[in-house]
């Protein structure tokens, strides 16, 4: 998931979005610091790069209010802007003044701050950021709203809180779901956990959370695939835990030991889906080629996680590969004399060094780094993490003047968590609605196509590519897949069956939408298999 960068940005700009702003002044009142943080976001900084500097600059008792004020202002940003325009006698063009007023409106309409406190402190904030000349305007608008907060709250909630270009595109793509979708995107997202079933079952960990007075709900996602080389469907059940209230990870039992990870329930489908398809392929390969040679030296299964950072789906894949229990879908044992296992080489790539660092940090917490894998008696896995550009990177690095397509085809399965506009995770990253622009779509679609066209020749005949985005725009999803399969006649789209209890069926793949407070994020999944030509 690449929601901090789009194809429209230069490499330097992308990196800057992920780094704390060097000129972000964290002085003054809580409201002033929130205003300055919002100004930094409007200047191109991502929420992830400015949130910690804000919270770390505050006393412990002020952090909760600052976090709520910042996130709620971002979620309601465009609706507040339209309300502001309707309240002002003439256009308010100065970004500092608009931001200050919107911070005041949030306190009155959404955070239930006492009227006198919200108005007085926001007017003082205008003075602190050296816009005292606008304090009269700030005071007048906030007082007008304070007289009838219910009226103005209803007015603000009536329509969407998205940039108009995005709302228009969603209306085109999802006319039936449009109203619920646009309202859902302005709400906080639920918190989900993925349990590392290599060390503990989901039910066991749920009980541990219950004992710690943390209430959760077990969510089961059923999936079915109509694989082209079998007469029967393949099915799986993915389990996630939804917390009734979001909780800091420091309060989660055994989190630091790697027993659980925070991951959206729809994101938890990626690793099991591609493993299910791969399991079927390996079973078929064994039946065809290994009936009389079970004791011969085994081949290496080559897997690729492209655009892998920050590593959540990679970690899930490794957890499944190293699991030694009934929840494991594809488990290998080097000492299995009945069905001798293949060794596995899993390569993960991403094109930014700071994001590669994030992968290593996440795998270290989960005890899934190479040295841990080598110490496991259950697996024979070689993990390579490479900083590389997925539009040009070649997995077969053997020096040859000219590589044929057969030389390039080395992977049995590829998981492509593709760069996208990340419109499906706006609930978690509300800055996206400020940072994205309409022209980003076409440029992102082009980048996706370049990555797909580079990786596809590197997949073996019979191998799979699972295409995943956290976008809810059809241009990046089903339309991208339709264009790709038209360019590549050897790409067959695998159908999801009626066993799926998630997402909306598309011409190719399935689309999840963040409709309500219990739903997962907006993810798209499509599974392609390479066929012989």
**SS (HEC) of 108-170:** HHCCCCCHHHHHHHHHHHHHHCCCHHHHHHHHHHHHHHHCCHHHHHHHHHCCCCCCHHHHHHH
Q: Which of 507, 525, 455, 419 is nearest to 5 (CA)?
A: 419
User: Which of these, 16, 4, 81, 76, lies nearest to 43 by C-alpha position?
Assistant: 16
Structure tokens at 180: 């619920």
C-alpha 105/C-alpha 138 separation (Å) is 10
Residues involved in catalysis: 470
Q: Which two tokens stand for residue 299?
A: 């081949």
Q: What percent helix, strand, coil does the chain show, rounded to 5?
A: 45, 15, 40
Other C-beta atoms lying within 10 Å of the C-beta of residue 180:
15
Helical (H) or strand (E) element with 217:
strand 216-226
The span from the CA of 290 to the CA of 293, in Å, is 5
- CA distance to 21, 35, 133, 147, 429, per residue, from 96 (Å): 18, 8, 12, 24, 22
User: CA 279 to CA 234: how far, in whole Å?
Assistant: 10
Dihedral, 98, 101, 102, 103 alpha carbons, nearest 10: 120
């Amino acid at each position: 998931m690449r929601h901090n960068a789009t194809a429209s940005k230069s490499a330097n700009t992308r990196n800057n979005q992920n780094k704390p702003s060097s000129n972000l002044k964290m002085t003054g009142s809580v409201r002033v610091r929130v205003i300055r943080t919002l100004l930094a976001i409007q200047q191109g900084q991502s929420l992830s790069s400015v949130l910690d500097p804000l919270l770390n600059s505050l006393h412990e008792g002020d952090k909760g209010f600052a976090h709520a004020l910042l996130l709620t202002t971002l979620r309601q940003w465009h609706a507040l802007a339209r309300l502001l325009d309707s309240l002002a006698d003439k256009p308010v063009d100065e970004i500092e003044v608009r931001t200050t007023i919107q911070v005041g409106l949030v306190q009155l309409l959404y955070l239930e701050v006492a009227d006198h406190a919200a108005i007085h402190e926001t007017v003082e904030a205008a003075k602190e950021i050296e816009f005292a000349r606008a304090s009269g305007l700030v005071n007048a608008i906030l007082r007008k709203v304070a007289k009838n907060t219910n009226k103005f709250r209803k007015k603000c909630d009536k329509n969407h809180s998205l940039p108009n270009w995005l709302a228009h595109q969603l209306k085109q793509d999802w006319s039936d779901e449009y109203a619920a979708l646009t309202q859902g995107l302005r709400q906080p997202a639920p918190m989900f956990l993925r349990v590392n079933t290599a060390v503990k079952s989901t039910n066991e960990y749920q009980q541990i959370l219950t004992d710690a007075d943390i209430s959760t709900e077990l969510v089961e996602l059923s999936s079915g695939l109509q694989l082209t080389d079998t007469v029967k469907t393949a099915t799986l059940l993915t389990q996630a835990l939804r917390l009734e209230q979001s909780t800091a990870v420091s309060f989660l039992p055994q989190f630091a030991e790697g027993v659980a990870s925070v991951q959206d329930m729809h994101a938890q489908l990626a690793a099991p889906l591609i493993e299910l398809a791969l399991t079927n392929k390996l079973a078929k390969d064994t039946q065809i080629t290994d009936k009389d040679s079970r004791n011969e030296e085994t081949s290496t299964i080559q897997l690729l996680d492209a655009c892998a950072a920050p590593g959540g789906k990679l970690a899930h894949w490794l957890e499944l590969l190293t699991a030694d229990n009934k929840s494991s879908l594809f488990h290998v044992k080097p000492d299995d004399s009945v069905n001798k296992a293949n060794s596995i080489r899993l390569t993960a790539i991403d094109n930014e060094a700071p994001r590669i660092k994030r992968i290593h940090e996440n795998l270290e917490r989960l005890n899934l780094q190479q040295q841990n894998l080598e110490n496991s008696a259950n697996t024979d896995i070689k993990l390579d993490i490479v900083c590389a550009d997925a539009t040009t990177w070649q997995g077969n690095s053997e020096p040859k003047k000219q590589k044929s397509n057969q030389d390039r085809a080395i992977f049995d399965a590829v998981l492509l968590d593709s760069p996208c506009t990340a419109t499906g995770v706006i609930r978690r990253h509300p800055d996206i609605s400020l940072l994205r622009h309409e022209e980003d779509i076409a440029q992102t679609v082009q980048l996706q196509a370049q990555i797909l066209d580079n990786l596809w020749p590197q997949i073996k005949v019979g191998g799979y590519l699972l295409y995943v985005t956290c976008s809810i725009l059809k241009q990046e999803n089903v339309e991208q897949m339709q264009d790709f399969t038209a360019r590549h006649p050897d790409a067959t789209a695998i159908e999801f069956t009626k066993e799926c209890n998630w997402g909306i069926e598309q011409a190719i793949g399935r689309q999840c939408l963040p409709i309500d407070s219990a739903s997962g994020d907006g993810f798209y999944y499509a599974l392609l298999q390479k066929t012989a030509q």
